[in-house]
Structure 1
């Protein structure tokens, strides 16, 4: 791709982001994006097959990073019962908070992209972002629940639907900080409240007793 072509693509993406943030995926029009970028709609189609592909180009990095992170976490969850026991009986609340804040920090570093995903993606192929992430994260929690139950750390084993519903509520709650434009200066306490609620909720649901 030539230098001039790269500049055109970058300008299209910049103008598309503004249009999608203003009108959302459904209402945004390629002709308006083209006019703002001072190109023809044909020029847009030379770079992107459709409006959906143009939208995806803006959010692809954060979308794939998030799902990839869930896959990585699934690998980490397949751990020994003894290690999980150490984690559970250590300061797991603080660990969970720090882990969540790392991702929330990433969200705020890519604020426009996450606003597109969470507030303006209806009608696009990534409109089910929260569900996509929840399905991946549910797999992690199912594995975790089975390990701690079979090892005797937990006394209850919730079914997969229960775990999925609770997992979805957690991910939705984290995403709400973007959806409701919570200032980053306030988000730490917001996330701490969510983590505390889910931390003790999981302990109660699984029947884990602190040593």
Structure 2
């Protein structure tokens, strides 16, 4: 019986992941998840208290890992070149792309609704620290916000696309190069004005 319960739970998690990825939390129905998993609604409630509990079970570990990776950037930066750090991050996102899509586009109505904004805020903090380190001054907050939004939007579009792992990583590498060249130009302009 235990083996059968594990199989049902696994089917529910996989069906939930697909539905949340394709429709988002608010537009996903428990009925659709159960139909896809070929189980009754009662079976779903045997394993999960609610749709929110199922959602959290699906995204929680990846969300925490992403927060940790982004939070560790400053420490990693001392050991890794930014391109290497970005490659590691993008490989993690590729391996967890369905859940990353859910967190970026499908978390409205959950406690993860601010995941995207929180990630951008962290990226803005990292960028401000870089400018402070390289130029000895802060940069206009609006400029930093726009730069981060541009980079993040590029990665979101890449994530939403349907490309191979190799193409995904190659395009993310090129986006990182573009971002770095932009930052170097801004740093040069700031240093010129001093």
**How far apart, CA to CA, are the structure 2 residues paired with 1:25 and 1:107?**
20
Name the counterpart of 1:73: 73
The answer to whether the aligner puts 1:31 opposite 2:17 as a matched pair is no
**Matches for 1:93-172 after TM superposition, within 5 Å:** 95-150=81-136, 157-172=138-153
- Distance 1:26-1:168 versus aligned 2 partners, 3 A rule: same
In 2, are the aligned partners of 1:130 and 1:168 still within 8 Å (CA)?
no
Across the aligned residues of Structure 1 and Structure 2, the Cα RMSD in angstroms comes to 2.9
Name the counterpart of 1:13: 13
In 2, are the aligned partners of 1:174 and 1:191 still within 8 Å (CA)?
yes
TM-score norm. by structure 2 comes to 0.78
* Displacement of 1:125: 3.3
- Distance 1:168-1:179 versus aligned 2 partners, 3 A rule: same
Q: What SS is found at the alignment partner of 2:72? A: helix
In 2, are the aligned partners of 1:26 and 1:122 still within 8 Å (CA)?
yes
Structure with the greater alpha carbon radius of gyration:
1
**How far apart, CA to CA, are the structure 2 residues paired with 1:161 and 1:98?**
27
* Displacement of 1:22: 4.0
* Displacement of 1:166: 1.5
**How far apart, CA to CA, are the structure 2 residues paired with 1:48 and 1:61?**
16
Query: How many residue pairs get matched?
Result: 189
